[in-house]
């Protein structure tokens, strides 16, 4: 008995990468929120004084990293999506003949 052949679905490489990059840009705020909340979720709460300086450095590093990653992703998306198109002017209504104008020899 012959098994049916599996056909692979072809996805354009550029479109696939662009969509994955857009997905990553959508997930960046969620990942950033989890990274910023990690110091609050530490398991060792028995320490009387948490290492405030180390947590402050961690928070600023995460914050700066999120800014840099978002900037790089925006550059990639801008290059991938291309320049914005200028707005298209709406179509003008058809020209109506002036009723006071003299008739042309063609009768129009």
Task: Return the higher-pLDDT residue of 7 and 29.
Answer: 29
- Asked if residue 87 belongs to a domain, the reply is no
Q: Which residues constitute the domain of residue 35? A: 13-41+52-81
pLDDT in tens, 74-96: 888 887 777 767 777 776 666 66
Q: What is the pLDDT of residue 62?
A: 95
Q: How many domains does the chain have?
A: 1
Question: What is the average per-residue pLDDT within 3-16?
Answer: 69
Q: Is residue 101 part of a domain?
A: no
DSSP state letters, 52-108:
HHHHHHHHHHHHHHHHHHHHHHHHHHHHHH-SPPPPPPPPPPPPPPPTTSPPPTT--
Is 61 among the domain residues?
A: yes
Q: Are 66 and 24 in contact (CB under 8 A)?
A: no
**Residue 30 domain-assigned?**
yes
Residues 24-58: pLDDT tens digits? 999 999 999 999 998 888 766 666 676 788 888 99
Per-residue pLDDT at 39? 83
What pLDDT is stored for residue 10 in this prediction?
Answer: 65
What are 64-76's pLDDT values in tens digits? 999 999 999 988 8
- Show Cβ contacts of residue 36 under 8 Å, excluding neighbours closer than 6 positions: 59, 62, 63
Q: Is 65 a member of any domain?
A: yes
Asked if residue 74 is part of any domain, the answer here is yes
**Which residue is associated with the tokens 């840099």?**
68
* Domain contains 89: no
| Domain assignment of residue 94, yes or no | no
């Amino acid at each position: 008995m012959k098994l049916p052949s599996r056909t692979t679905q072809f996805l354009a490489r550029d479109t696939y990468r662009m969509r994955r990059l857009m997905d990553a840009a959508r997930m960046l705020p969620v990942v950033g929120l989890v990274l910023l909340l990690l110091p609050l979720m530490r398991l060792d709460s028995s320490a009387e004084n948490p290492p405030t300086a180390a947590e402050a450095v961690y928070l600023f590093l995460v914050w700066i990293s999120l800014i840099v990653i978002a900037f790089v992703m925006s550059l990639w998306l801008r290059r991938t999506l291309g320049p914005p198109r200028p707005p298209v002017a709406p179509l003008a209504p058809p020209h109506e003949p002036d009723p006071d104008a003299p008739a042309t020899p063609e009768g129009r």
